[in-house]
Chain A
Amino acid sequence: MPMRTDCGLPRFSANKLTDLIKYMRSGEGLTLAALILFALSLFVFPLALLTRVGLTDGEGFSLGPAIEMLSHGSVPRALWRSLESAGVSAILSLVTGTAIALLVGLTDIRGKAIITFLLLIPMMIPPHVTAIAWVQAMGPSSPVLNTIGLAPPPGSPHPLYGRGGVIALLAVQNMPLVFLVVLAALRALPREMSDAARVSGAGTIVLLRRVILPLLAPTLIAAYALAFIAALGNFGIPALLGIPGRYVTLPVLIWQRLSAFGPSMLADVAVISAILASVAILLVLIQSTLLARTRNALIGPPQAPIYLALGRARSSVEAALWTLVVITFLLPITALFGTALVVTYGLPLNAETITFDNFREILFEQSVTARAYRNSTITAGVAALVIAALCILLARLLAGPKGPARRIGLGLSTLAEITYAIPGLVISVAFILAFIRPIPILDVSIYNTLAIILLAYLCAFFSIALKPISAAFLQLDPALDEAARVAGAGFWARIRRIALPLVAPAAASGAILVFLTAYNEVTVSALLWSTGTETIGTTIYNYEDGGYTTLAAAMSAVTVIATVALMVLLDLMGRRLPPGVVPWRL
């Protein structure tokens, strides 16, 4: 008999086949098989098709079509604009995010928790809503700027349309990402070096310049890459600010081509998508390499954080942070609610023009909005539950002992990270390619149904829940599982009775994060929706694009309320969870 460990594949000897069958029929074998099947059909198959259509010339692998596409016209211009907007906005995100992280992480300012929470809201609010809010906030008819007499005069073009606006809003949207990564790294900084510098008489500036920033360098590069990837895949902001300003990025170009010309453009669009995906994957590789190095360098026992007393500067620093909160969150959101409450776009908000009709219209009257809320709630809810369940199984493999099962698990989680980094529009192009024809054998067509949107969510957002759930699994003492196994509990019994109760809070947080992301997204469904399968994101976008600005603002306002409510819920749950499970609780 071969040695049989429960957590790895058996070491085969004479009866390889029997053993394999026996293993595959065990709980863990089934889990592994199910996860592999899931990854093959939803991660590998669509992206392989995209690669085949996008990076071959009919005979074999070839960059010919991509180079042809990049040689002239709108594609190279859009690629350049994508790189420019992502590159510059990521620099802005990096500088502000790092500065705020240093202030929150290292100094004695007051109200850190509330400032952190408020600064992070812009990250969770969907980008198309952010863009709509800023358009309302800065234009000549801005309800806020008009009240304080700072609005641009009638007849002046909107200041945010075009390159500047796209870059500025991408920077605002992704600044919290940098902030979180840098804050986490600061928490893990070894005290010894800063203490040594202090003892040697280094002041705050020298300490920052000579010790802390050099130690943070790899983190900063990784954070920059993170902000870059997020900006590269962003669709809502360049669509709403870039199109009127004739500043078209690659995701917008993909969307324009496919929505204007339909599936006949699919082959061309696949080439553009493959180009965009390659840029994103390249960045992920750079980023993960750097992040791995930082982890190696900085792991140490948890230590009391470094505190720098700001002294007299404290009040002005606090004032600056609160001003930033007001500008990045309160100003656009107030403008958004102002527009949502006004009887028709363009009128100032006052006692005569205030109305709840826009909210009534979108909540109770319009069949399309009712359908959108239902569709988004169902798809985001099912995606959250399925992903959380699969992540529990995958995280169980990842936390298990070294062996083939864990290696496969690691491979799957890397795949999930890649699909997360690939822009949502590219994922949706891949899913159109994969599912435009009926599924073979089953002979069911899911194109133009909610099912294709749901499956694309499973692919795009899988890794969101995996991070908190595997963090929770890694904290479990393996002795618990061992003890249960010795006592005769099978695989499923151990999952249900031991692991599940302990990781349930993390799994719930992961599910809420997936729900929040899917509920708010527009990039994945922008190309997958059709009549009857509208999502909240696509409906808001279509209202804004069609000139129904007040209705778009009202729907956006509801989205903001729902988002903040879910974040508060997550925050309350996060108090009882290990650090890192809820992204902003470190």
Chain B
Amino acid sequence: MKPIVAVALTSAILTAPVFAQDTSVSGPLVLYTSQPNADAQQTVDAFVAAYPNVEVDWVRDGTTAIMARLEAEFVAGNPQPDVLLIADMVTMEGLEAEGRLLAYPEADVSAYDPAIMDPEGYYFSTKLITTGIVYNTAAPFVPASYNDLLRDEAQGQIAMPSPLTSGAATIHMAALTSHPDLGWALYEGLAEQGANPQGGNGGTYRAVAGGEQMFGFVVDFLPIREMANGAPVNFVFPEEGVSAVTEPAAILSTASNVPAAQAFIDFLLSPAGQQLAADQGYLPAHPAISPPAGFPAREDITLMGFDPAEALANADANRLRFTEIFGQ
């Protein structure tokens, strides 16, 4: 779906570091993923190139649809996939709590920020899709902090995706409301500012780029990609930090081919796997891999502290509180 995919594909072929082939792992591997189709195909192709004896059978769908499918399979007692590459840490935390995941504590996560990896090795973040502030260049001021959106000039000028629709917006809400300087007061302030959360990130970006609203919460890659074309927007990584959807990978406790599933995790966390994510236009989770054009260096991006287990426990309460604040 992304125009950069075609470019990314070419550059992936040209620049992908040669990954030593490992023929010791073999057999079928079933993958469920919510990556965009072209990205999923590239990931599988690169993995099979590295592990030529593994046959990957993959299913791709939206996060909600694939989770619904998985739930149905759990109920029926025959979950198909060996390995998942979907959604966010909160979803994974939920699967972990239900005992659906198999830990892989031997995975090499030494290079990564511990905040985005499960301490017991049940799931592993593979990339960072961050949410910060987008503003139209016609905006009356440049926001530096989330609290700037509560200034009078921003009254009636704020677009945001709804946590009831968007997974990234759910994580963003969990991160902001658990931040000591922001909390629910920020969301209450946004409601008083006339913000009207709705739909997904695409609609928010369109409202800001089209000048209907001046500020918005949005995922990084939409404005960063269009800024290169001269779009009248700018993306801010606010001083409090950004929240991130990390598309974690995890092995199911019912996996039938555990060695191949572990190899898949190893591959995603390897520099080659991370370079692939960067080439697809995402901010890689690995700090040593350079981010795609338009992103600041990885060390300049602050991730907001965020406890997925706590977010999971509070998920319903958070949604309820959100609907009360915004009257939805």
Contacts and interface: CB of A to CB of B under 8 A. Distances in A.
A7 interface: no
Interface string A343-370: 1111100000100000001000111100
A530 B69 CA distance: 15
B246 interface: no
Contacts of A60: none
Interface stretch (B60-68, B92-100, B282-290): B60-68
Nearest to A358: B3
Nearest to A545: B202
A346 B211 contact: yes
A157 B3 contact: no
A346 B233 contact: yes
Contacts of A551: 3
Given A139-B211, A155-B157, A155-B211, A244 B203 contact: yes
Contacts of B199: 243-244, 545
Nearest to A539: B1
B217 to A, nearest CB: 13
B205 interface: yes
Contact of B202 (A155, A246, A343, A547): A547
A344 B226 contact: yes
Interface size on B, as a range, is 35 or more
A376 B136 CA distance: 37
B1 A347 contact: no
B313 interface: no
Contacts of B200: 545-546
Interface stretch (A11-19, A260-268, A422-430): A260-268
Contacts of A344: 209, 226, 229-231
A366 B38 CA distance: 10
Contact of A361 (B3, B204, B222): B3
A347 B231 contact: yes
A49 to B, nearest CB: 20
B253 to A, nearest CB: 22
Q: Which of B62, B65, B203, B212 has the most CB of A within 10 A?
A: B212
Contacts of B157: 155
A367 B7 CA distance: 12
Nearest to A243: B199
B68 A140 contact: no
B229 A548 contact: no
A200 interface: no
A513 to B, nearest CB: 32
Contact of A346 (B3, B64, B201, B232): B232
Interface in B213-257: 213-214, 222, 226, 229-233
A345 B226 contact: yes
B293 interface: no
A194 interface: no
A118 B198 CA distance: 36
A154 B214 contact: yes
B37 A531 contact: yes
Given A262-B68, A264-B71, A346-B233, A542 B211 contact: no
A347 B206 CA distance: 12
Given A243-B198, A365-B6, A368-B1, A345 B64 contact: no
Contacts of B230: 343-344, 347, 353
A261 B3 contact: no
Interface string B67-80: 01101100000000
Given A156-B212, A259-B65, A261-B64, A549 B6 contact: no
Interface string A368-396: 10000000000000000000000000000
A141 interface: yes
A344 B205 CA distance: 12
Contacts of B3: 361, 365-366, 548, 551
A93 to B, nearest CB: 28
B13 interface: no
Contacts of A187: none
Interface string A505-539: 00000000000000000000000001100000000
B115 interface: no
A314 interface: no
Nearest to B233: A346
Given A141-B211, A157-B212, A547-B222, A262 B65 contact: yes
Interface string A227-246: 00000000000000001101
B68 A546 contact: no
A346 B231 contact: yes
Contacts of A139: 210-212
Interface in A244-270: 244, 246, 259-264
Contacts of A259: 62, 65
Contacts of B214: 154-155
Contacts of A158: 207, 210, 212
Given A261-B64, A261-B65, A547-B201, A140 B212 contact: yes
Nearest to B2: A548
A264 B68 contact: yes
B303 to A, nearest CB: 23
B72 A140 contact: no
Contact of A140 (B60, B61, B210, B233): B210
B317 interface: no
A345 B156 contact: no
B6 A346 contact: no
A423 to B, nearest CB: 22
A154 B136 CA distance: 9
B266 to A, nearest CB: 27
Contacts of B65: 259-262
A346 B198 contact: no
A531 B233 contact: no
Nearest to B67: A262
A346 B205 CA distance: 10
B138 to A, nearest CB: 5
B274 to A, nearest CB: 25
Contacts of B6: 365-367
A154 B211 contact: yes
A156 B214 CA distance: 9
B299 to A, nearest CB: 28
Interface in A174-230: none
Given A139-B210, A262-B64, A547-B222, A154 B138 contact: yes
Contacts of B196: 246
A139 B210 CA distance: 7
Interface in A124-146: 139-141
Interface string A332-349: 000000000001111100
Contacts of B231: 344-347
A260 B66 CA distance: 10
Interface string A136-173: 00011100000000000011111000000000000000
Contacts of B60: 531
Contacts of A544: 202, 206
19 contacts: A139-B210, A139-B212, A141-B211, A154-B211, A155-B211, A157-B212, A157-B213, A158-B212, A243-B198, A246-B198, A262-B64, A262-B65, A345-B206, A365-B6, A367-B6, A547-B204, A548-B1, A549-B210, A551-B3
Please give me the 6 A-B residue pairs with the lowest Cβ-Cβ distance, nearest first.
A547-B202, A346-B209, A140-B211, A344-B229, A262-B68, A344-B231
Given A262-B61, A547-B201, 6 more contacts: A141-B209, A156-B212, A344-B229, A345-B210, A531-B61, A547-B203
Interface of B: 1, 3, 6, 37-38, 60-62, 64-65, 68-69, 71-72, 136, 138, 156-157, 196, 198-207, 209-214, 222, 226, 229-233
Interface of A: 139-141, 154-158, 243-244, 246, 259-264, 343-347, 353, 361, 365-368, 530-531, 542-549, 551
